[in-house]
């Protein structure tokens, strides 16, 4: 496995390669990322991962500075998972000058849920993802379903910009008690770890309620919000939406439940298709 830090070295390493499979990450990798990398290996060409903590998608009050940077360990894990090339640029390489051209996703998709609580977040995500796509030029790129709104927005961007990239969705990898694996789980205090699985249980309860005939999506989501609050969480949102565009939905179609909530000082997000 090769580790490169510069765009020119990445391009040289990939010269002549076709069918590149790509997983963009911010590092501090766990089994969820590695499952995405294994999907990227199905593309038929080299499997490439990027590791870059993207300042553009963090608000000034967020955890950019304390976001764990664990490059050595990440590279060991990627090598074991069959990665061929890691691109780990520093900020001056990916943003050698202030990034003034940005991708602004449409408000109907990007100003709700995560975008409502983290204004500008998806502009930061789309801008770096498009830039990484331009640098890596993958045939396929893999995004996890845990970050469902991100996956949806990237799919829409690729379609509307006619990028020749297949977006592959990776299933959420969960701990035995259901907690979705996330780099931010490392912020949880030992006393919070058991409670953290409640978020996925609430999503599971929503899916069961709809399967059992519940059709008032707002009432179901409100009950989940109240239940989380009663257990000491500070929920940002819980919602049931149409999978394709996250619009309000009736029971019957392909749906997804999405949630974000703070437990102590840790903000967790999760989603569940049903
Ligand atoms: O999901 C993430 O880790 C990030 O949002 C991504 C896609 C790597 C862009 O910085």
Render pLDDT for 106-158 as a digit per residue (tens, 0 to 9): 999 999 999 999 999 999 999 999 999 999 999 999 999 999 999 999 999 99
**Across 1-6, average pLDDT:** 98
- Residue 33 catalytic? yes
Question: What pLDDT does residue 250 have?
Answer: 83
Question: What pLDDT does residue 88 have?
Answer: 98
Question: What pLDDT does residue 146 have?
Answer: 97
- CA dist 55 and 59 (Å) reads 8
Query: Would you say residue 252 has pLDDT above 90?
Result: no
pLDDT digits (tens, 9 = 90+) for 12-43: 999 999 999 999 999 999 999 999 999 999 99
Asked if residue 128 has its Cβ within 6 Å of ligand 1, the reply is yes
Q: Determine phi and psi for 5, rounding to 5 degrees.
A: -115, -15
Question: What pLDDT does residue 28 have?
Answer: 96
* pLDDT above 70 as % of the chain: 100
Asked if residue 54 has its Cβ within 6 Å of ligand 1, the reply is yes
Largest CA distance in the chain: 57
| Owner of token pair 């035995």 | 176
**Across 258-272, average pLDDT:** 97
Residue 113 Cα to ligand 1 middle (Å): 17
pLDDT digits (tens, 9 = 90+) for 205-217: 999 999 999 999 9
First-to-last alpha carbon distance for the chain, in angstroms, is 38
Question: What pLDDT does residue 81 have?
Answer: 98
Residue bearing the CA closest to ligand 1, atom 8: 25
* Cβ 241 vs Cβ 273: under 8 Å: no
Q: Is the dihedral of CA 73, 22, 83, 177 positive or negative?
A: positive
Question: What pLDDT does residue 31 have?
Answer: 98
Query: Would you say residue 194 has pLDDT above 90?
Result: yes
Angle of CA points 213, 215, 219, to nearest 5°: 120
Q: Which of 33, 156, 211, 215 is catalytic?
A: 33
Closest CA to 259 of 175, 176, 179: 179
Residue 124 Cα to ligand 1 middle (Å): 9
CB within 8 Å of 134: residues ≥ 6 apart: none
With cut-offs at 50, 70 and 90, classify the pLDDT of residue 223.
very high
With cut-offs at 50, 70 and 90, classify the pLDDT of residue 251.
confident
Q: What is the number of other CB atoms lying within 10 angstroms of the CB of residue 33?
A: 27
Q: Which helix (H) or strand (E) holds 39?
A: helix 31-40
SS3 content of the chain, % helix, strand, coil (to 5): 40, 20, 40
Which residue from 22, 24, 124 has its CB within 8 A of the most atoms of ligand 1, so it is best to mutate?
A: 24
Closest CA to 140 of 234, 17, 265, 7: 17
């Amino acid at each position: 496995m090769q580790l490169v830090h510069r765009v020119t070295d990445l391009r040289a390493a990939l010269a002549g390669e076709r069918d590149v499979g790509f997983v963009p990450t911010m590092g501090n990798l766990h089994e969820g990322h590695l499952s995405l990398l294994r999907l990227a290996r199905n593309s038929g060409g080299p499997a490439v991962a990027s590791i870059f903590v993207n300042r553009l998608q963090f608000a000034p009050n967020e955890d950019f500075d304390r976001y764990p940077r664990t490059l050595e360990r990440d590279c060991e894990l990627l090598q074991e998972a069959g990665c061929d090339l890691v691109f780990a640029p520093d900020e001056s390489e990916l943003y050698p000058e202030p990034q003034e051209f940005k991708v602004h996703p449409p408000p109907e998709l990007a100003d709700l849920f995560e975008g409502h609580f983290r204004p500008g977040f998806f502009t930061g995500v789309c801008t770096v993802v498009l830039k990484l796509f331009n640098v890596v030029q993958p045939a396929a790129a893999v995004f996890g379903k845990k970050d469902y709104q991100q996956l949806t927005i990237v799919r829409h961007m690729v379609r509307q910009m006619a990028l020749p990239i297949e977006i592959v969705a990776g299933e959420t990898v969960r701990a035995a008690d259901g907690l979705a694996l996330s780099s931010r789980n490392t912020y949880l205090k030992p006393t919070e770890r058991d409670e953290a699985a409640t978020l996925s249980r609430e999503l599971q309860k929503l899916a069961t309620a709809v399967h059992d005939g519940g059709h008032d999506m707002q009432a179901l989501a409100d009950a989940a919000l109240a239940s989380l609050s009663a257990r000491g969480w500070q929920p940002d949102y819980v919602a049931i939406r149409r999978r394709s565009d996250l619009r309000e939905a009736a029971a019957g179609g392909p749906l997804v439940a999405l949630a974000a909530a703070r437990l102590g000082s840790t903000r967790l997000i999760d989603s569940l298709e049903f």
